[in-house]
Amino acid sequence: MPQPRKIIIDTDPGQDDAAAIMLALGSPEELDLLGITTVAGNVPLQLTQRNARIVCELSNRPDVKVFAGADRPVARPLVTAEHVHGKTGLDGPVLEEPRMALQAQHAVDFIVECVMTHEPGEVTLCTLGPLTNIALAFEKEPRIVARLHEIVMMGGGFFEGGNITPAAEFNIFVDPEAADRVLRAGVPIVMMPLDVTHKVLTLRRRVERIKAIGSRAAVAMAEMLEFFERFDIEKYGSDGGPLHDPTVVAYLLKPELFSGRDCNVEIEVASSLTVGMTVVDWWHVTDRKRNARVMRDIDAEGFFELLTERLARL
């Protein structure tokens, strides 16, 4: 039996972040979650760190270490998304305040220490929010760049365009300077853009299957998804909302569900019209360095099968 893969999840929960964390916690044979680092994004940091702890407790894992990181992007004021996620970020179910403690260490220091104290190539970063903590960690200790196995990130959009502006996806838009630094760093990157996440919709039958598991975690998750999808159903006119962040964890568990190609990806940081755009050289029309594996397709049924099966294990 191979050793479970060591991961850090950097996140801004968010209902879909919660689904990603639960998917990881339901997969202990494959994934060893070293810590959850939180960042300001969907809602301010005060709430994202609280929400991460709520999700761990819902999953019966109060032992997971949760750290608070950056409370704002590296160079801009924070933009949040309460219009999607609700006032708390986890609107939907009735949730209790968490009892487990927040770690005293800053998330950026934890990332640095964790990567430096593991063997080179041992730690994978899974990013589900703006890339602020990661850019700050790279700045603080540049040696961690070469020691990471890879970064698997939810961010960007190319064929689908943007979801917060016509050109930009939310995670990249919130902190484009951080995303730019991370994309240029030279670490292997796998990117889950909107092109993938818009193919995994929370169809009624899928949410009902999750609810039917009947556990506290699964019912809360189904209620979160029911809240989360209303915004996207209205926006896209689809039968269910896209479930973005769990695609990152699903990729670690079953990469065969995905297909994409290695491309150059650059981030627009200057234009007021297209700031935060991920400019993907999908057709290889430049000779710019291929710095990311950009996913485009996913087996949606296989993905929901995996998610449902792992939620049932919590």
Contact 65, 35 (CB under 8 A): yes
* By CB under 5 A, residue 268 contacts Ca ion: no
State the sign of the Cα–Cα–Cα–Cα dihedral 183, 247, 9, 70: positive
* By CB under 6 A, residue 42 contacts ligand BDR: yes
Contact 24, 246 (CB under 8 A): no
The pair phi, psi for residue 310, each rounded to 5°, is -75, -35
Among 7, 10, 15, 17, binds Ca ion (CB under 5 A): 17
Q: Which of residues 161-200 bind ligand BDR (CB under 6 A)?
A: 163, 169-171
DSSP summary character for residue 256: G
How distant is the alpha carbon of residue 26 from its chain centre?
Answer: 16
Give residue for tokens 């819902």.
58
* By CB under 5 A, residue 115 contacts Ca ion: no
Give least dist CB 287 to Ca ion, A: 33
Helix (H) or strand (E) holding 183, with range, is helix 176-184
Name the one range near ligand BDR by CB under 6 A: 10-18, 31-39, 249-257, 293-301: 10-18
Cβ nearer to ligand BDR, comparing 48 with 291:
48
Q: Which of residues 46-105 bind ligand BDR (CB under 6 A)?
A: 81, 84
* By CB under 6 A, residue 128 contacts ligand BDR: yes
Torsion angle of the four alpha carbons 245, 247, 251, 255, in this order, in degrees rounded to the nearest 10: -170
Give least dist CB 14 to Ca ion, A: 4
Give least dist CB 258 to ligand BDR, A: 17
Could you tell which of ligand BDR, Ca ion, none binds residue 125, using a CB distance below 5 to 8 A set by kind? none
| Catalytic residue (choose from 85, 149, 198, 244) | 244
Per-residue x/- track, 135-164, ligand BDR (CB under 6 A): -------------------x--------x-
State the sign of the Cα–Cα–Cα–Cα dihedral 247, 252, 256, 258: positive
* 170-192 b/e (C-beta count within 10 Å ≥ 16 → b): bbbbbbbbbbbbbbebebebbbb
Give least dist CB 285 to ligand BDR, A: 26
Give least dist CB 102 to ligand BDR, A: 20
Whether 83 is catalytic: no
Among 10, 245, 266, 281, binds ligand BDR (CB under 6 A): 245
Give least dist CB 65 to ligand BDR, A: 21
Query: What are the CA-CA distances from residue 301 to residues 47, 151, 307 (Å)?
Result: 32, 25, 10
Cα–Cα distance measured from residue 51 to residue 147, given in angstroms and rounded to the nearest whole number:
29
Cβ nearer to ligand BDR, comparing 49 with 163:
163
Cβ nearer to ligand BDR, comparing 50 with 112:
50
First to last CA, the chain: 21
State the sign of the Cα–Cα–Cα–Cα dihedral 202, 204, 209, 211: positive
The pair phi, psi for residue 194, each rounded to 5°, is -60, -25
Cβ nearer to Ca ion, comparing 25 with 128:
128
Contact 121, 147 (CB under 8 A): yes
* By CB under 5 A, residue 253 contacts Ca ion: no
Total residues binding Ca ion (CB under 5 A): 6
Contact 257, 250 (CB under 8 A): yes
Residues that bind Ca ion (CB under 5 A): 12, 14, 17, 128-129, 245
The contact set with ligand BDR (CB under 6 A) reads 14, 16-17, 42, 81, 84, 128-129, 154, 163, 169-171, 244-245
Active site residues: 244
